[in-house]
Amino acid sequence: MNTSLRRLLLTAIGAPAAALAVWALAVPLAGTALTVRTGGATQTVGPVSVLVASLVAGLAGWALLAVLERRTARPGRSWTIIALAVLVLSLSGPLTSGVGAAATLVLVLLHLVVGAVLVAGLARR
């Protein structure tokens, strides 16, 4: 297995692992009620939701990087700029839907942790 593929796999596994670690520290250990408003109801954010969302984000980032590598002269730089813009935009979700300050803080932290792992891991490819 070459270094790029190994780094890619570590990033794809690292982002969900980091997110699940944050969730585990915040919810079961610290006792934070991690709930969000969806329409008129509230929904609890569990480990499966955290895992799936971070995997989807990682795969989407990987796909975008693959396209940029084929179509642009500086794919790493382009990908990093786009990824950071998407991360900033993604923060509007937890900031507007978190139920309570603790839940909002944990949701923002989840977004930032996944974003940091993906930006650091995929940009170096």
| pLDDT tens readout for residues 49-98 | 999 999 999 989 988 988 998 999 988 899 999 999 999 999 999 888 88
Between 96 and 8, the more confident residue is: 96
* Predicted confidence (pLDDT) at residue 112 exceeds the cutoff of 80: yes
DSSP-H helix ranges across 1-125 = 3-24, 47-71, 75-90, 92-97, 101-123
Is residue 44 very low, low, confident or very high in pLDDT (cuts 50, 70, 90)?
Answer: very high
* 86, 58 contact by CB (below 8 A): no
Q: Given this model, what pLDDT does residue 66 score?
A: 87
Q: Given this model, what pLDDT does residue 15 score?
A: 94
Map out the domains of the chain as residue ranges. Answer: 3-123
Amino acid making up residue 96: T
Residues 107/79/121/7 CA torsion (nearest 10 deg): 140
| pTM of the full structure | 0.89
